[in-house]
Amino acid sequence: MATGAAAAALSSLGRDNGLGFAKTSDFIKVSDLKRVKFHRTKICVIKNSNPGSDIAELRPASEGSPLLVPVQKYCESTHKTIRRKTCTVMVGDVALGSEHPIRIQTMTTTDTKDVAATVEQVMQIADRGADIVRITVQGKKEADACFDIKNTLVQKNYNIPLVADIHFAPSVALRVAECFDKIRVNPGNFADRRAQFEQLEYTDDDYQKELEHIEQVFVPLVEKCKKYGRAMRIGTNHGSLSDRIMSYYGDSPRGMVESAFEFARICRKLDYHNFVFSMKASNPVIMVQAYRLLVAEMYVQGWDYPLHLGVTEAGEGEDGRMKSAIGIGTLLQDGLGDTIRVSLTEPPEEEIDPCRKLANFGMKASKIQQGVAPFEEKHRRYFDFQRRTGDLPVQKEGEEVDFRGVLHRDGSVLMSVSLDQLKTPELFYRSLAAKLVLGMPFKDLATVDSILLRELPPADDQDARLALKRLIDVSMGIITPLSEQLTKPLPNALVLVNLKELSTGANKLLQEENSLNFPVLHHIQFPKGIPRDDLVISAGANAGALLVDGLGDGILLEAPDQDFEFLRNTSFNLLQGCRMRNTKTEYVSCPSCGRTLFDLQVISAEIREKTSHLPGVSVIPAAD
């Protein structure tokens, strides 16, 4: 009888220089590095690049303080959650910043020209508890309607701050700044033309002329916001960077930060500080990297502006909540974020509850987490995704069973099963997402990798043991406690051993901890009665915060009264959201800059119906 040991560890889960900013000596200035003379040639996409080396080879062409290469500090502490200190930004009567609660907001989906419908939706949003609501303003007619929207809401005693979402239309921003409380500008398309993905070359003089054009277009809006006491969000989107920025940085987090800083420098030049930043992307990993890079640079510059957090058009249902929880939750645990939006392909009022859950999570994080003693980071890279890779099982000569499939190289999903599930083998195999051929199971792309069986079937229960043997034969791991394997041995099962059971061997493991390279599986046990949304958000914000940093090789979720299929799907969604294991079609629901050119929910549903069979493919519903 061959008995293997489970090769995995199951883890439980301002401007004011007195704010603790990092010293400049902790960072490397790009200007101190070797400069290379070259023309800036258009680069459409940079994939799997090393940000450190990319940055070292380039330098900003803009005037003012150049961006710096962050060596370490992007938050107050990497060992416990400490909320980053910021200045206060006023949006109407609502205060944003570290001295205030994390504010929640959403965005209308009505035609802004339809004043009655927009007012009705804003009131529904306010009644659900949102602090701020954003409305798209594409042109002059929409801007004119904004005055009626604001006046009607005031007459109905609704004073919720309104934010104008502006794309491609500086003149519209100037008009609506007279009635709305905040203006959101997208640096990628406010003054630069819409990206054409052309091969462009810039000399330093050409680049500087482009910056002067931005200043000429942007200054009137800044001056009007100062005059009327309006706030502003400088909100970069990963998917809408200008050709000019992409020609120099690629569509990278670094390009996102520089794009926003160009506008921020103009604001500061005019002594305007009532603004916040955002760095949104549909990819949670890119989003996290961009925000960290932004904050690292703000620490060096001595800036303390608040942050608006969000994952762009995260999707609907569990998918959207999971992606938002991974991106937003990770940053909240870093102590970053002062206002958030969970962007779903659903009615805007449905975004409020998951948004509130994440805001509460962020406000409590510093209190409920004890933190750890400072230690040297050896496996985590803060500004790019590079997994700490544990040693996967290998096939040894003479072994009758192939153990290589018990863990997956891109991230593993484990499920806890009961003896009752073994009574109906075919249903059991299907619940693991295995394919069946003549009643025999076979692994597929999204099949569970291993199962945790806390109790083995009796030796005389041949049917149950045959069901398990068939799983072992297709390289699925059967993990069971040592005590069970000793009393009811199952051939080729994997044994789960804790340090107490290792006795003196535990000391040897601790002495060799620096050389151990076991895969780490995050095991989360949820209490009975936890709502599904809470489970998804908690898993994304906790396990996702580790996986998005490359820390961890798999997931095991347990909830006593939740459906088995739901837990399995949630586990795979978590891995896909962290950009580890892609097992289904990825949807980025981006209908337009402004979100009102067509019915997002209807079109997304139609597209899903026709494309959901394409795992590994990303589908982006978008306006022409």
pLDDT value of residue 479: 96
Q: Domains in the chain, please, with CATH?
A: 24-308 (3.20.20.20), 392-502 (3.40.1260), 586-619 (no CATH)
Q: Which residues contact 275 (CB under 8 A, 6 or more apart)?
A: 89, 231, 232, 233, 234, 264, 267, 305
Which of these ranges, 48-52, 130-134, 393-397, has the smallest mean pLDDT? 48-52
Task: Let me know: does 535 contact 325? Beta carbons within 8 Å.
Answer: no
What is the rounded distance in angstroms from the CA atom of residue 318 to the CA atom of residue 517? 33
pLDDT digits (tens, 9 = 90+) for 196-238: 556 567 778 888 888 999 999 999 999 999 999 999 999 999 9
pLDDT score of 267 more than 60 = yes
- What is the per-residue pLDDT across 555-586, written as a single tens digit (0 to 9) for each? 999 999 999 999 999 999 999 999 999 988 77
Cβ contact 207:40 at 8 Å: yes
Weakest-pLDDT range from 56-65, 100-109, 314-323: 56-65
Residue 353 has pLDDT above 70, yes or no: yes
User: How big is the chain, counted in residues?
Assistant: 624
pLDDT at position 463 is 97
DSSP 8-state secondary structure symbol assigned to residue 398: T
Instruction: Return the H-helix or E-strand segment holding 166.
Output: strand 162-166
Least confident of 43-57, 116-130, 517-531: 43-57
Please indicate whether residue 199 or residue 100 has the higher confidence score (pLDDT): 100
Residue 459 has pLDDT above 50, yes or no: yes
Asked whether 494 and 450 are in contact (CB, 8 A), the reply is yes
**pLDDT of 368 higher than 90:** no
Percent of the chain with pLDDT over 90: 61
pLDDT at 49: 33
d(CA 271, CA 454): 64
Comparing CA positions, the residue from 275, 348, 365, 305 lying closest to residue 545 is 365
Return d(Cα 141, Cα 343) in angstroms, integer: 26
pLDDT band at 20 (very low <50, low <70, confident <90, very high): very low
Picking from 211, 216, 224, the residue whose alpha carbon sits closest to that of residue 143 is: 224
Which range has the worst mean pLDDT, 119-128, 300-309, 541-550?
A: 541-550
Residue 401's pLDDT band (boundaries 50, 70, 90)?
Answer: confident
**Angle at the Cα of 141 (from 135 to 147), degrees rounded to 5?**
60
Say which residue the tokens 């995260």 belong to. Answer: 314
Residues 6+ apart with CB under 8 A from 328: 309, 310, 311, 337, 340, 342, 358, 362, 541
Q: What are phi and psi of 329, to 5 degrees?
A: -60, -40
569 neighbors 318 (Cβ within 8 angstroms)? yes
User: Hey, what are 578's tokens?
Assistant: 């962290």
| Higher-scoring residue by pLDDT: 280, 514 | 280
pLDDT at 370 over 60: yes
Structure tokens at 470: 């068939």
Instruction: Record the pTM.
Output: 0.84
Residues in CB range of 147: below 8 A, 6 or more apart: 178, 179
d(CA 517, CA 277) in angstroms, rounded, equals: 39
pLDDT at position 69 is 40
**Residue 602 confidence (pLDDT):** 59
Contacts with 164 (C-beta within 8 Å, 6 or more apart), sequence order: 134, 135, 137, 143, 146, 172, 173, 176, 177, 180, 182, 183, 184
Residue (of 209, 595, 566) closest to 415 by Cα position: 566
Query: Stretch 138-162: mean pLDDT, rounded?
Result: 97
pLDDT band at 57 (very low <50, low <70, confident <90, very high): very low
Query: In 390-415, which positions are buried (b, 16+ CB within 10 angstroms) versus exposed (e)?
Result: bebbeeeeeeebebebbbbeebbbbb
What is the band of 455 on the pLDDT scale with cuts at 50, 70, 90?
Answer: very high
Encode pLDDT of 600-613 as tens digits: 555 655 665 556 55
List of residues 6+ apart from 490 with CB closer than 8 A: 456, 465, 468, 478, 480
Mean of pLDDT over the chain: 82
3-state secondary structure of 48: coil
pLDDT above 70: residue 418: yes
pLDDT for 23 equals: 27
CA angle 592, 597, 600 (to 5 degrees): 80
